[in-house]
Structure 1
Amino acid sequence: MNHPRRRQVTALATGVLLTAGIALAAPAATAGATDSRARTTRTPLVVNARWGGHCTYDRIVIDLRGHVPPVTVTPVSRLVYDGSGKPVPLAGAFFLQIRLHPAAAHDDDGRSVYRGPKLITIDLPRLKGLALTGDFEGYVTFGAAFGSKPAFSTHKLHHPERFVLDVAHRNVCC
C-alpha cells in the first residue's frame, strides 16, 4: 500500500472510531439533558436519620435515596469527626460507628441532601445520642452513644430504602 492510500485508510479508521465513541457517549449526555434526576449520582444518598424507642429495643433508622449500600457497625472507644479527628460531644459509656460505603449525604453539585440531625442527645433506655460524623470521599459515617454495652442487630428494609440498627434492652412496657 502506498503512503497516500495508507493515510486515507488511517483517517477513515480514526473517523469511524471517533464516531463510535460519540455515539456510545450520546445516550448518557442526552439523559442528563432530558431528566434532571439523571444528573444525580448513582451513589446512594443518605437523606435522614431517625430513632425510636420500643418495649424491648431502641432503633436507629438511616433513610436512603437509591439502594442500601454495604454498612459496617463497629464498636469504638470514642467518637470522632471524620477528617478532623475532633471528638464528638456525646455523653456515653459505649459507642458504635456506623459507616455506609459507597454513599454520600450531598448531591453531585456538593449540596447537602441530608435533612436529619447532625448531633442530638437522646434519652432512651440504651440510646443516648446520635451524630453525623462524616460525609467524605464516598463514606457517610454516624456515631451512636449508649449508656451500657449495646447488644445490636442490623438489617436492611426496602420501599423506601433504609438501614436499621436495633439495640436490645429489658422490657420497659411491663
Structure 2
Amino acid sequence: MKKLSIWLTAILMAVGLGIMVPGPASATTSYCGLVWGSLAKADPDMSRAQVTNVRTGQHYCFDRLVVDLNGPASGYNVRYVSQVTQDGSGFAVPVRGGARIQITVNAPSYDDNGKATYNPANKAELTNVSGYQTFRQVAWAGSFEGYTTLGLGVRARLPFRVFTLDGPGTGSRVVVDVAHFW
C-alpha cells in the first residue's frame, strides 16, 4: 500500500509540474523546419523555353526533382493525383509509390520545328531513384501543345514545394522538393 501511495504521489507531482502533460499542438510544427503543405502549387504563365533534362537528388530533409530548361522558366502545375495521366491521350501512366504527384511544366520538350529537346531513353524510369527516402519513380507522361508532364511516385502523401531558379547561363530550372516526413 505504501508503494502505491508513493507512485500516486509521484504521478500527481509530475502532472502538476507539467512533465507528463504535452504542450499544445502548433500549426507550425514541422519536420526539419519545413512548413510546406501538400496542396497543389501552380504558376499559370507560359514559358518560351524548352525542357532539356530531368534529374533528381537527395538532401537531408527532402528529395529533389529538377526540370532543366534552355531559357527562363515561367509556369507549372504540381499536385497530388489519384492517377497520373498522359498528355493528349489521357491514358494512365503507372507510377510506383503510395502517392503520386503530377508535374506539368508549362514548356514543351521540343523546339519550334518539332525536334525533341528532351527525349528520355527510358520513359518509365527518367532517373534512378533507388535508395531515395521519399521518391519511388519518375516517369514520362508526355509533351503536348506546349506542356510537359511527369509522374512522380512517392512513398506517401508528404509536404512539397515548387520554385524556379535562374541559370546556369541563360537556362533555368523548375524545382520540386518533397519532404521525407511531415
TM-score (norm 2): 0.65
Provide Cα deviations, 1:53-87, integer angstroms capped at 9, x if missing partner.
11211000000011102111111001121122222
Q: Greater share of helix residues, 1 or 2?
A: 1
Aligned to 1:167: 178
In the alignment, what sits opposite 2:56?
51
Name the residue aligned to 1:88: 93
Contact 2:80 2:157 (8 Å CA) reproduced: no
For 1:106, which of 110, 125, 137 is the aligned residue?
Answer: 110
- What's the offset of the Cα at 1:141? 1.1
Which stretch of the first structure deviates more once superposed, 49-58 or 79-88?
A: 79-88
Amino acid at match of 1:149: R
Shift of 1:97: 1.0
Q: CA deviation at 1:162?
A: 0.4
Match of 1:68 in 2: 73
* Distance of 1:154 and 1:86 partners within structure 2: 25
- Counting only pairs closer than 5 Å after superposition, residues 1-174 of structure 1 correspond to structure 2 as 43-101=48-106, 103-116=107-120, 118-120=123-125, 122-123=129-130, 124-160=132-168, 161-170=172-181
Partner deviation per Cα, 1:120-170 (whole Å, 9 max, x = no partner): 162211111112212111111111111111210111111121011111115
Give the superposition deviation at 1:115.
Answer: 4.6
Q: CA deviation at 1:111?
A: 1.1
Q: Which runs of 5+ in 2 are unaligned?
A: 1-46
Q: Tell me the secondary structure at the aligned position of residue 93 of structure 2.
A: coil
Conserved 8 A contact 2:102-2:151: yes
CA distance in 2: counterparts of 1:150 and 1:133, whole angstroms: 21
Task: Identify unmatched segments of 5+ residues in structure 1.
Answer: 1-41
**2:97·2:155 contact (CA, 8 Å) conserved in 1?**
yes
Q: Matched residue of 2:117: which SS?
A: coil
Question: How high is the TM-score relative to the length of structure 1?
Answer: 0.68
CA RMSD of aligned residues (A): 1.7
Which portions of structure 1, spanning 4 or more consecutive aligned residues, are displaced by more than 6 angstroms? none
Greater shift in the superposed pair: 79-88 or 132-141: 79-88
Between structure 1 and structure 2, the one with the greater Rg is 1
For residues 27-68 of structure 1, the C-alpha deviation after alignment (integer angstroms, 9 at most, x for no partner) is xxxxxxxxxxxxxxx821000000011121100000001110
SS in structure 1 opposite 2:60? coil
